[in-house]
Homo-oligomer: A and B are copies of this chain.
Amino acid sequence: MPTPSMEDHIEIIYSLIEQKGYARVSDIAEALSVLPSSVTKMVQKLDKDGYLIYERYRGLVLTPRGQKLGKRLLKRHDLLEQFLRLIGVDEDLIYKDVEGIEHHLSWNSINRIADLVQMLEENPDLLMKLEKLKNEQKES
Residues on A facing B (Cβ under 8 Å): 84, 87-90, 93, 96-97, 99-101, 103-106, 108-109, 111-113, 115-116, 118-119, 126, 129-130, 133-134, 137
What CA separation (Å) do A134 and B111 show in the bound complex? 8
In the A-B complex, the 3 residue pairs with the closest CB atoms: A100-B104, A115-B133, A101-B101
Closest to A101 in B: B101
Q: Which of B90, B116, B130 contacts A108, CB < 8 Å? A: B90
How many copies of this kind of chain does the complex include?
Answer: 2
Closest to A106 in B: B93
Contact A97 B89 (CB under 8 A): no
Contact A118 B133 (CB under 8 A): yes
Question: A113-B87, A115-B87 given as contacts; is B93 within 8 A of A108 (CB)?
Answer: yes
Closest to A100 in B: B104
Question: A97-B104, A101-B100, A104-B100 given as contacts; is B126 within 8 A of A119 (CB)?
Answer: yes
Closest to A90 in B: B108
Contact B109 A134 (CB under 8 A): no
Chain B residues, CB < 8 A from A90 = 106, 108
Contact B89 A106 (CB under 8 A): yes
Question: A118-B133, A119-B126, A129-B119 given as contacts; is B100 within 8 A of A112 (CB)?
Answer: no
